[in-house]
Amino acid sequence: MSDLAIERTIAPQWLSVKLNWPTKVALGIIAVLVICAVAGHWLAPYDPNATNLVGRLQSPNAEHWLGTDHLGRDILSRLIVGSRVSLGSVALCLVLILGLGILVGGASGFIGGRTDQIIMRFTDVFLTFPTLVLALFMVGMLGTGLVNVIVAIALSHWAWYARIVRGIVLSLKHRDFILASRLAGATRVQVFIKHLLPATLSQLLVLATLDIGHMMLHVSGLSFLGLGVTAPTPEWGVMISDARQYVWTEPLLVFWPGLALFFSVMAFNILGDAIRDKLDPHLCAEHGH
Amino acid sequence: MNLLEARGVSKAYRTFSLVGATKAKPVLNHISMEIAVGETVALLGRSGCGKSTLAMLLVGLERPDRGDILFGGRSLTSLDKAGWQNLRKTVQMVFQDPLGAANPRATVKDIVAEPLNYLCGLTGQAAAERVRELLSSVGLNWAEANKFPHQLSGGQLQRVCIARALAPDPKLIILDEAVSNLDLHLQIQMLDLFEELRRTKNVSYLFVTHDLRLVEKFCARVLVMDQGRIVEQTPVSGSLAFSSSEGRALSAAVLPPMPRQLLAAGG
Amino acid sequence: MTSSTLSVEGISVETTRHGSPLVLVDNVSLTLGAGEVLALVGASGSGKSLTCAASLDVLPPGTRMIADSVSIDGSVLQRSTLRGRHIATIMQNPRSAFNPVRTMQQHARETLSALGISTAEEDERILRAMKASGLDEPERLLRLHSFEMSGGMLQRMMIALALATEAPFLFADEPTTDLDLIVQREILDLLDHLKRERRLGILLVTHDMGVVARLADRVAVMDGGRIVETAPVTDIFLRPRHVITQRLVEAHLSLYNRSEVAA
């Protein structure tokens, strides 16, 4: 074996997730989001739906830290409770997308042959759907509602994941370590779960964290258009939509939910990078640090 | 009774497409051979002659198009779940390239413990103990157990793969060019280890290789393959003498023990 | 070019492991003459491939060179001028040396483009070189891609590309390790023939003493990044002086049912 193989022994210790400060900040933001999503109703200082027309459009002050909106509702409370809708719907989307993608893509790649070709053509159909068109279609058929929006987003995104899983499975399934695993007594399903799935996970996770940003924006965007969440449910996109008419006089109304979206998307992206580095030792070695 | 047997086995590889005919590329042509308990058989031949494909068929990782593979007298097609478990416990294989044969995301401990988990029902502490024993039998210490494949040298990683193959206490090990990439002193060390297992536990080996020098040292019988057929079968006694043209071509291609100048002078 | 000696002096290669420096090649010097084969042998990890790579300044990432000088006939040359012009290279895995989406013709053009010769002359040289490497029907082969060719043919193609540059020296890093016995013999015969015919100076990195016995004129033994012994090949086999050399020769000879190591 060539001595140039020595470079492989120079890989760093990656066993602990690299907790540099951006990752810590990202984890912090996500922790806050999760806490808000889970315990929002207890944390929020005011009832997010309690209107108070007398105290409407207040600037940030001691009582309402972020001010109040056009109906006098406390913005901070609405942001906190709204995180449940944003995070919750994205989580549900992801579950659907990953589930479908892994099942269809994994089976297709593993089985191979004609079955693989047929399944892939079926997947191609879904690749052609733009999210907005599909969402409008579903809403037109089934009515507005968050569930329909989530299903629409999932249906338009899963095909990419299926293709990626299939690609990885195809490239790995003839490798000796898969054969060795079968020789060690693993059934096909065990081989898939133990060896092939982890290999796909790092790529899927990176894609998913980038998509979380898109999906959050889709949910908010569709809600902004009035297709998803219905009033008075607090949701960041709806908050931006409601605040449109006040953007010149009370720009903060648009700013706070926008900022919330911004930090959430950024936090997930940073976390995605950290997760990818942990799960993929090869990439670490290539960085050469 | 024979441990493993191939009867009239043929195999061709096909490519698939959604439309149009599929093409077939023949690799094995009506092969018959057998391995008995405690035997060391060499499968010799140049690249592309089909020896690796035959190895895959013998362990049941692929199915022959025609003919049959028999394990302990029973056809592989007739094996039930328990039968397959037994096959896997009894017949193991070591591959040529250790980097491809180890999951890059698994630690050495996980890699060696896998057959223990699935075939021997050992987990946790019991498995760890056995892994430690196996690693030491191939000359690796416990300190390497938590490392990943890319942190080991090629020689060390191949020894990990050998330890994995030894884990379920197999009765037949197929070595598919398994020591070719190791330094010579390691090759000899591994072959000595295999020889010891043969003496103490009556383990058989199918040694797929193209290095005749090792065959002379290690094997009792040689099968020569050429383009998907077995063209010669001969026992090994002293130095190898082949009658087939392929066997003689391989024999003539062996590297010399000494430089030309010394050989000419009768050194 | 009628160069007669290649000198590599004081090569050292270092890397960092766990924060502290680790020396992989320690002050290695060699000379290679025209028409001779110098075998660089040692166990895996002894630094032989790195020495080769360092001489050409193609070190893998994560390693760096400390001190070095490569000269031909006494004049020090820049690495970038050396590669492809004065020193050609062939490697262990011929398949990975070729880009699978390019034809052999495109590879040939790319290899020779650095020499600044006319396209007509490039074509002529490559056809001559392919014939000299034992490749029949070179015109047909030039249209093929690497996946349409066997390992042996690809190795011959690499040798042809090396010959076409008309470089006087060749660095061969484990050129036959991945090839089967018969192809190995053919390639070694070819290298031997080229050495005599063209007075090629070959630095042959290998871990197989059989290859050394077949091809080498002089041998340099490496261990732990240092050269521990340099001697003509007959001395290495009959009278190995260093312990590492003795071990290598002994292990090799044990395969032949005979052991001759003079004390």
Could you give the 3-state DSSP secondary structure of residue C227? Answer: strand
Locate tokens 């105290």: which residue?
Answer: A55
Asked if C172 contacts C212 with a C-beta cutoff of 8 angstroms, the reply is no
End-to-end CA separation in angstroms for chain B: 47
Return d(Cα A180, Cα B188) in angstroms, integer. 24
C210 closest CB neighbour out of B153, B181, B255: B255
Asked if C252 contacts B189 with a C-beta cutoff of 8 angstroms, the reply is no
- Distances from the Cα of C221 to the Cα of A4, B260, C43, C212, C252, angstroms: 18, 20, 9, 11, 14
Q: What is the ipTM of this complex?
A: 0.86
Q: How far is B219 from chain A (nearest CA, A)?
A: 24
Q: In 3D, which of C99, C107, C144, C108 has the Cα closest to residue C126?
A: C108
* pLDDT value of residue A163: 92
> B235-244 as b/e, with b when 16 or more CB fall inside 10 Å?
ebeeebebee
* pLDDT value of residue A6: 35
Q: Which domain holds residue A185?
A: 20-41+67-280
Asked if A3 contacts C47 with a C-beta cutoff of 8 angstroms, the reply is yes
A117 contact residues in B (CB cutoff 8 A): 16-18
Could you tell me the two tokens for B226? 């050429």
Q: Which uninterrupted H or E stretch holds C141?
A: helix C138-142
Could you tell me the two tokens for A174? 């003839």
C-alpha torsion angle, residues A278, A282, A284, A289 (rounded to 10): 160
Mean pLDDT of chain C: 86
Best mutation target among A1, A3, A4, A8 (most C Cβ atoms within 10 Å) is A3
Best mutation target among B81, B116, B151 (most A Cβ atoms within 10 Å) is B151
Could you give the 3-state DSSP secondary structure of residue B14? Answer: strand
C57 dihedral zone (left: phi>0; alpha: psi -120 to 50; beta):
left
Cis peptide before A281 (omega within 30 of 0): no
Return d(Cα B159, Cα B143) in angstroms, integer. 14
Across the interface, do C24 and A10 touch by the CB < 8 Å criterion?
Answer: no
Q: Looking at the complex, does the CB of residue A24 fall below 8 Å from at least one CB of chain B?
A: no
Q: In 3D, which of B252, B263, B241 has the Cα closest to residue C260?
A: B263
Strands (E), C34-92: 37-41, 63-65, 69-72, 75-76, 87-90
Asked if B42 contacts B210 with a C-beta cutoff of 8 angstroms, the reply is no
pTM: 0.79
Return d(Cα C86, Cα B15) in angstroms, integer. 45
Return d(Cα B50, Cα B223) in angstroms, integer. 12
Return d(Cα B193, Cα B175) in angstroms, integer. 13
Number of independent structural domains in chain A: 1
Across the interface, do B151 and A5 touch by the CB < 8 Å criterion?
Answer: no
Return d(Cα A203, Cα C206) in angstroms, integer. 39
Could you give the 3-state DSSP secondary structure of residue B236? Answer: coil
Along chain B (267 residues), what's the average pLDDT of each consecutive run of 10 residues? 88 69 78 91 88 91 91 88 91 91 91 92 90 91 90 88 93 91 86 89 90 86 91 84 88 88 64
* pLDDT value of residue C261: 36
pLDDT in 10s for each residue of chain C, 263 residues? 456 888 888 888 888 877 788 888 888 889 999 899 999 999 888 888 888 888 888 888 778 887 677 888 777 777 777 777 888 888 888 888 888 888 989 988 888 887 888 888 888 889 989 988 888 888 888 999 888 888 888 899 999 988 888 888 999 998 888 788 888 999 999 999 999 988 999 999 998 899 999 999 999 999 988 999 999 999 999 999 999 999 999 999 888 865 433 33
Q: In 3D, which of C158, C53, C64, C35 has the Cα closest to residue C108?
A: C158
Domain definitions of chain B by residue range: 2-15+24-103+167-264
Q: Which uninterrupted H or E stretch holds B30?
A: strand B24-36
End-to-end CA separation in angstroms for chain A: 24
**Which chain A residue has the Cα nearest residue B174?**
A183
Q: Is residue A288 part of a domain?
A: no
Best mutation target among B179, B255, B260, B262 (most C Cβ atoms within 10 Å) is B255
Could you tell me the fold of the domain covering B2-15+24-103+167-264?
Answer: Rossmann fold (3.40.50)
Sheet hosting strand C37-41, strand order edge to edge: C87-90, C169-173, C201-206, C37-41, C218-223, C226-232
Asked if C157 contacts C99 with a C-beta cutoff of 8 angstroms, the reply is no
Q: Looking at the complex, does the CB of residue B178 fall below 8 Å from at least one CB of chain C?
A: no
* pLDDT value of residue B15: 65
* pLDDT value of residue B264: 65
pLDDT in 10s for each residue of chain A, 289 residues? 333 333 333 333 333 556 788 888 988 998 988 888 888 888 888 888 888 888 788 888 888 888 888 888 888 888 888 888 888 888 899 999 999 999 999 999 988 888 899 999 999 988 887 877 887 887 788 777 788 888 888 888 899 899 999 999 998 888 889 999 999 988 888 999 988 888 888 778 778 877 887 788 788 888 888 787 777 788 888 888 888 888 888 888 889 888 998 998 888 888 877 877 776 655 444 333 3
Task: Map out the domains of chain C with their CATH numbers.
Answer: 5-86+168-254 (3.40.50.300), 103-166 (no CATH)
* pLDDT value of residue C263: 31
Q: Looking at the complex, does the CB of residue B241 fall below 8 Å from at least one CB of chain C?
A: no
Return d(Cα C8, Cα C38) in angstroms, integer. 13
- Distances from the Cα of C238 to the Cα of A282, C204, C260, angstroms: 45, 21, 7
C-alpha torsion angle, residues B180, B182, B187, B190 (rounded to 10): -110
* pLDDT value of residue A8: 37
**Which chain B residue has the Cα nearest residue C206?**
B183
B255 closest CB neighbour out of C150, C214, C248: C214
- Distances from the Cα of C80 to the Cα of A214, B85, B232, B264, C173, angstroms: 47, 58, 52, 43, 19
Instruction: Give the side-chain half-sphere CA count within 13 A for A73.
Output: 24
* pLDDT value of residue C178: 79
Q: In 3D, which of C176, C49, A184 has the Cα closest to residue B85?
A: A184
Locate tokens 């390693």: which residue?
Answer: C63
Strand pairing class (B74-75; B24-36): unpaired
Across the interface, do A195 and B119 touch by the CB < 8 Å criterion?
Answer: no
Locate tokens 């007739």: which residue?
Answer: B78
Neighbors of chain A by Cβ distance (3+ pairs < 8 Å): B, C
Q: Is residue A46 part of a domain?
A: no
Eight-state DSSP code of residue C96: G
Q: Which uninterrupted H or E stretch holds B27?
A: strand B24-36
Return d(Cα B24, Cα B148) in angstroms, integer. 39
Distance of CA C188 to the CA centre of its chain: 12
- For residue A219, the domain's CATH number is 1.10.3720.10
Across the interface, do A9 and B155 touch by the CB < 8 Å criterion?
Answer: no
B114 contact residues in A (CB cutoff 8 A): 180-181, 184, 186
> C117-156 as b/e, with b when 16 or more CB fall inside 10 Å?
eeeeebbebbbebbebbbbeebeebbeeebeebebbbbbb
